Amino acid sequence: MAGIIEVKDQGKVRIYDADNSNYVDIVVPSTVSSNRTITIPDATFTIPTSNTPDDDAITAAKLNNDIISGTTALTSEPADTDEFLVSDAGTLKRIDYSLIKGGGITMADQFRLTSDASTGDLTSNLERVDGTNQGTLGTGMSESSGIFTFPSTGYYLVRFSAIQYKDGDRRDISINIQTTANNSSYATIAECITHITRSASLTTNIQGMTETLLDITDTSNQKVKFNVFTDATTLGSTTINQTYMTFIRLGDT
């Protein structure tokens, strides 16, 4: 039979199964915005029974180029539970942002001695640096009477640099980083020993520097303080770093 078969008034084309017990109706919507054509391919195929595609039906060739760029942009750092798709040896898997976010340096801080000091622990006249273009990255250290508390657990680089002067000779001048694991007993873990030989009967300056890496797992008990042992004078200033402490968090513990 040639020509067109017309079914009007939203009629149905009904096709029965082999024993005529059940059927499939082909029905058009009540309103169609324009003429449509259903073209049957020149191949054997099966009409899917659900809206879910087969596991291997969606390939890279079927994804639009704007699958990412055409989506609403996230304007802040993802939350730890936000998920990403990754190919794990060819198998598509999801992963939380908390597992892949960059460690990086999230905290850097400096304090300095603001006035001259003599031998012993540096317990006062300490300030966070605040000069031109100086600053702090992240949540910095807390300081009380010379005791420094870390803002979070992690691996930290701690550096201590000091300038001393004396109008005379001094054979040994030491600067020390001391730490505690119980918020009570302190031990020296980094030391620099220098000396002064007076030049031309004038006051002579020297500078020493020491540093250490700390694995901080308990911010309540693991702390640091700084000590000088000398009869020379340790320089301090409110405008420049002469005697100062540097703290850099390098990553998670």
Structure pTM? 0.65
Residues 45-73 have pLDDT tens digits of 777 777 777 777 777 777 788 888 888 99
Helix (H) or strand (E) holding 93: strand 91-96
Reference 165, options 93, 237, 249; nearest CA is 237
Q: How far is it, in rounded angstroms, from Cα 65 to Cα 78?
A: 23
Give the pLDDT score at 239.
96
Q: How far is it, in rounded angstroms, from Cα 144 to Cα 121?
A: 13
Q: How far is it, in rounded angstroms, from Cα 43 to Cα 35?
A: 25
Query: What are the tokens at 204?
Result: 């002579």
Q: Is 3.30.499.10 the CATH classification of the domain at 107-251?
A: no
* Rg (the chain; Cα; Å): 37
Q: Which are the contacts of 78, defined by CB distance < 8 A and separation ≥ 6?
A: 97, 101
Rounded to the nearest angstrom, the gap between the alpha carbon of residue 65 and the centroid of all alpha carbons in its chain is: 30
Q: Domain limits of the chain?
A: 107-251
Give the pLDDT score at 42.
83
| Residue 214 reports pLDDT greater than 90 | yes
Give the pLDDT score at 221.
98
* Mean pLDDT score across all residues of the chain: 89
| Residue 147 reports pLDDT greater than 80 | yes
Give yes or no for a contact between 95 and 102, defined as CB atoms under 8 angstroms apart: no
**Confidence class for position 167, pLDDT limits 50, 70, 90:** confident
For 116-119, which contacts have Cβ atoms below 8 Å and span 24 or more sequence positions?
Answer: 116/233, 116/234, 116/235, 116/236, 117/228, 117/233, 117/234, 117/236, 117/243, 118/231, 118/233, 118/234, 119/228, 119/229, 119/230, 119/231
Rounded to the nearest angstrom, the gap between the alpha carbon of residue 15 and the centroid of all alpha carbons in its chain is: 62
Residues 203-212 have pLDDT tens digits of 788 899 999 9
Give the pLDDT score at 61.
76
For residue 70, give the amino acid letter. Answer: G
Give the pLDDT score at 109.
98
Give yes or no for a contact between 236 and 230, defined as CB atoms under 8 angstroms apart: no
Give the pLDDT score at 103.
65
Q: Which are the contacts of 99, defined by CB distance < 8 A and separation ≥ 6?
A: none
Give the pLDDT score at 196.
79
Give the pLDDT score at 156.
97
**Confidence class for position 30, pLDDT limits 50, 70, 90:** confident
Residues 81-140 have pLDDT tens digits of 999 989 999 888 999 998 887 767 989 999 999 999 999 999 999 999 999 999 999 999
